Amino acid sequence: MRSPKESQVRKLPESGVSRRGFLQGVSLGGGALGAAVLERPAEAAQSGVVGPGEVSITLWVNGKEHELRVEPRVTLLDALRDRLGLTGAKRVCDRGTCGACTVLVEGKAVYACTTLAIDAQGKNIQTIEGMTRGSELHPVMKAFVNNDAQQCGFCTPGFVVAAKAFIDEHPNPTEEDVMNGLGGNLCRCGTYIGIRKAVVEAAKAMGGRNA
Amino acid sequence: MQAFEYANPKTLQEALGLLGSSWGEADVLAGGTDLLGLMKEYIHTPKRVVNIKGIKELGGIEKTSAGVRIGATVTVAELLSSGLIKSQFPALIQAAQGIASMQIRNMGSIGGDLCQRPRCWYFRSGYGLLAMKDGKSLVANGENRYHAIFGRAPAYFVSASSFGPALIALGAKVKLASQSGTRELPVAEFFVAPATEDDREIALKPNEILTEILVPAETTRNATYEVRQKEALDWPLATASVALKMDGGKVRSAEIVMGHVGPTPVRAPKAARSLTGKTINETVAEKAAATAVKGARPLSQNAYKVQLAKAAVKRALLRAVS
């Protein structure tokens, strides 16, 4: 893991070939993305009143510190996707109802669409991008592959993150426990049977450990 | 959502000073699970949002001489993991277990549950709390299958609170703070049926913050039973919470409160009194449940909720003594 001190301004995905980056590259030339100039980092919102205009905030995502300017109304999801290029968490219902935007804040699964970015400052935020170690898949991801636990795959990042949080708190779940525990995530393709099997398998592979 | 100022006070006094004197000026942010949705739909367009999660004194669950104090920003997940709550108040645990999803339970707070706005689809679509058009209720004359069976004109929405009925059954109070001081109110009086479009469905004033919930220590057999269409990500169709003070195997006194059937949680005092001196069994519970729903006045599409409420009361009573 990199040092959390490492400051990255509006960092784009490391590979440079994400689908989002590609689309921006061909349609917009990506020019606007380099335009951010931070004045003073992290002046924002420790107390007092800020906004409604842009405010400098600091987010700690996947072990890296990011400084960015957002209006207080920007959700954590939009900040992750549109400012930091972390497009794993998906914007689907945008109303805290489908789970596609699930990320971990201080280890707990939350809906990033229903969290204000400014409110997530100073907290340890983990997204699907932070779950792999190099090219090594997380045990939950491996189990999703093994059990064909996705069809179109759009809900999958949210499910994988939610499943990790669920296993951390329920290290030996049954399929019924998984059904109840992951009730906050929806799959319109209906791959629930595979997902339940995958989560049970992942929990076994993790051997009751948090990972 | 509309742009707003954001404040992150560290003390209650500071937070109270940031509130407005009328609704619409400022909204209080705790878990945000209701507020952000309201703002995205432009149902709430506050000029300022005051985050109260940074105020330490609004958190925590503690035993006091009078019972248990639950801070308003305690999350549903925190409540579920509290040994103190588990050992004394299964009615609260059972209400918490039904709440939407793991993510919502991690985010949403007990104070927020009490202050959340109704789920009435007319209200959520911008027709106002009472959904009146040309002097007529859109609810009474429209799509009302999830609406009140104990409603009275002009309020036909149902209170969305999961904890409200259980807290009323347990005789709990809420503490409301403003810059001029604090007041305590029985939870039963916290919920009010609004008479006009300018009223709210709770007694909280725009310059107040709900700071804590006080549940008395009295020993009761208590339980909550929810009837729901979906097991997750939805509000129940009808619930009941009961608290029974017992003399051995017999009921000394009872409280029965139904949820999601009226603009406030609905108490059933006659049904509760009918249990005095009795041992709860299937027949007694069934009879009390029938009494509890006697005054129901369903709308054109929701007569089925009368039976659901009745079943919830019966099952909550049986669960309390099981």
Instruction: Please give the CATH superfamily to which domain A139-206 belongs.
Output: [2Fe-2S]-binding domain (1.10.150.120)
Give pLDDT tens digits for A82-123. Answer: 999 999 999 999 999 999 999 999 999 999 999 999 999 999
Q: For residue B91, which amino acid is it? A: A
Whether the bond between B236 and the residue before it is cis, its omega within 30 degrees of 0, is no
Of A143, A6, A2, A118, which is closest to residue A53 (Cα–Cα)? A118
Chain-chain contact of A115 with B107 (C-beta, under 8 angstroms): yes
Q: What is the pLDDT of residues B175-196, one digit of tens each?
A: 999 999 999 999 999 999 999 9
Q: State how far the Cα of A73 lies from the Cα of B36, in Å rounded to an integer.
A: 9
At A34 the pLDDT is: 33
Q: Please, which residues 66-95 of chain B have a Cβ atom closer than 8 Å to chain A? A: 77
Beta carbons of B216 and B67 less than 8 angstroms apart = yes
- Decide if B293 contacts B313 (C-beta within 8 A): yes
Residue A97's pLDDT is: 93
CB-based contacts of A103, cutoff 8 Å, min separation 6: A76, A77, A80, A89, A109, A110, A112, A125, A126, A127, A128, A161
Tell me the C-alpha distance between B92 and A197, whole Å.
32
Is B229 an interface residue toward A (CB < 8 Å)? Answer: no
Predicted model pTM: 0.90
B62-B65-B67-B68 Cα dihedral, nearest 10 degrees = -10
Nearest CA in chain B to A73: B3
Per-residue model confidence (pLDDT) at position B219: 83
Each residue of B218-246: pLDDT tens digit? Answer: 889 999 999 999 888 889 999 999 999 99
| Contact: B37, A165; criterion CB under 8 Å | no
Nearest to A47 among B9, B32, B107 (CB): B9
- B residues 169-228 closer than 8 Å to A (CB): none
How many Å lie between the alpha carbon of B249 and the closest alpha carbon of chain A?
Answer: 34
Q: What is the pLDDT along chain B (322 residues), one digit of tens a residue?
A: 999 999 999 999 999 999 999 999 999 999 999 999 999 999 999 999 999 999 999 999 999 999 999 999 999 999 999 999 999 999 999 999 999 899 999 999 999 999 999 999 999 999 999 999 998 999 998 999 999 999 888 999 999 999 999 999 999 999 999 999 999 999 999 999 999 999 999 999 999 999 999 999 888 999 999 999 988 888 999 999 999 999 999 999 999 999 999 999 999 999 999 999 999 999 999 999 999 999 999 999 999 999 999 999 999 999 999 9
Structural domain tally of chain B? 1
* Element spanning A183, H or E: none
Q: Using a CB-CB distance cutoff of 8 angstroms, which residues of chain B are in contact with residue A102?
A: 103
B121 vs A: CB within 8 A: no
What's at B50, amino acid-wise? V
DSSP type of residue B307: H
Burial environment of residue A32 by CB neighbours within 10 A (0 to 12, 13 to 18, 19 or more): exposed
Mean pLDDT of chain A: 83
**Nearest-by-Cβ selection for A46 from B8, B37, B104:** B8
- Put simply, the answer to whether B5 touches A110 (Cβ < 8 Å) is no
Which residues of chain A lie closer than 8 angstroms to B53, CB-CB?
119
| pLDDT of B232 | 81
SS3 B199: coil
Cβ distance of B6 and A48 shorter than 8 Å? no
Across the interface, of B7, B37, B233, the residue whose CB is closest to A184 is B233
Q: Is A135 exposed, middle or buried (0-12, 13-18, 19+ CB in 10 A)?
A: exposed
For residue B264, the domain's CATH number is: 3.30.465.10
Cβ-contact B177, B149 below 8 angstroms: no
CA–CA distances in Å: residue B236 to residues A64, A208, B157, B159: 41, 34, 14, 11
Q: Whole-angstrom Cα distance, residue B40 to residue B43? A: 8
Look at residue A208 in the predicted model and tell me its pLDDT: 65
Do the chains contact at A108 and B104, CB–CB below 8 Å?
no
Residue of B nearest to A122 (CA): B54
CB contact under 8 A, B39 and A119: no
Return the pLDDT at B233.
84
- B228: nearest Cα among B216, B218, B240: B240
| Buried b or exposed e, range B77-90, using 16+ CB within 10 angstroms | bbbeebeebeebbb
Report how far residue A60's alpha carbon sits from residue A84's, in angstroms, rounded to the nearest whole number. 11
**Entry field: residues in chain B:** 322
Contact (CB<8Å) B8/A182:
no
**Rounded to a whole number, what is the distance in Å from the CA of B235 to chain A's nearest CA?**
12
- Residue A77 dihedral angles phi and psi, to the nearest 5°: -60, -50
Residue of A nearest to B7 (CA): A49
- What does pLDDT average to in each consecutive run of 10 residues of chain A (211 residues)? 40 45 45 35 56 97 97 98 98 96 98 98 97 93 96 97 97 94 95 97 84 50
Query: In chain B, whose CA is at the least distance from the CA of A178?
Result: B102
Q: State which residues form the domain around B314.
A: 58-321
User: What's the CA gap between B120 and B294, in Å, rounded?
Assistant: 24
Q: Which of A48, A97, A111 sits opposite B7 (nearest CB)?
A: A48
The CA-based angle A128-A117-B95, given to 5 degrees, is 80
CA distance A13 to chain B (A): 26
* Interchain pair B233, A50: CB under 8 A: no
Alpha helices in B41-176 (DSSP H): 76-80, 83-88, 90-97, 102-107, 110-115, 121-124, 164-169
Structure tokens given for B258: 């139904």
Residue A31 in tokens: 């020019």
